[in-house]
Amino acid sequence: MIDSQTPCRDLEVLSCRPGSDPSLVNLILSAPGWTCRPGQFVMLRPAQWGAELIWPRPFSVCDVSEDGLRILFQTVGRGTRRLAELTPGQKVTVWGPLGRWFRIDESRPNLILAGGVGIAPFVMLARRERRDNLSMLFGHRLDLQHYPYDEIAAAIQSEAMQQKTPADIATFETVLSDRIKALAGKGQVLACGPEPMLKVVRKYCLEHGTDGQVSLENRMACGVGACLGCVAKTTQGDYVQSCVHGPVFDVRDIELGA
Q: Where on the chain is the footprint of ligand FES (CB under 6 A)?
A: 220-223, 225-230, 241, 243
Q: What is the DSSP string of 167-233?
A: HHHHHHHHHHHHHHHHTTTT-EEEEES-HHHHHHHHHHHHHHT-EEEEE-----SSSSSSS-TTEEE
Whose Cβ is closer to ligand FES: residue 169's or residue 227's?
A: 227
DSSP string spanning 15-39? EEEE-SSTTEEEEEE--TT----TT
Check residue 185 and give left, alpha or beta (phi > 0: left; psi -120 to 50: alpha).
left
- Residue 133 Cβ vs ligand FES, minimum distance, rounded to whole Å: 33
What's the min distance (Å) between Cβ of 18 and ligand FES? 27
CB of 176 to ligand FES, least distance (A): 28
Q: Closer CB to ligand FES, residue 137 or residue 220?
A: 220
**Smaller CB distance to ligand FES: residue 171 or 239?**
239
Q: Rounded to whole angstroms, how far apart are CA atoms 111 and 157?
A: 10
What sign results for the dihedral spanned by CA atoms 146, 154, 198, 204?
positive
Of residues 55 and 138, the one with the C-beta less far from ligand FES: 55
Q: How far is the CB of 55 from ligand FES (least distance, A)?
A: 9
Nearer residue to ligand FES within complex by CB, 180 or 221: 221
Minimum CB distance to ligand FES, residue 142 (Å): 28
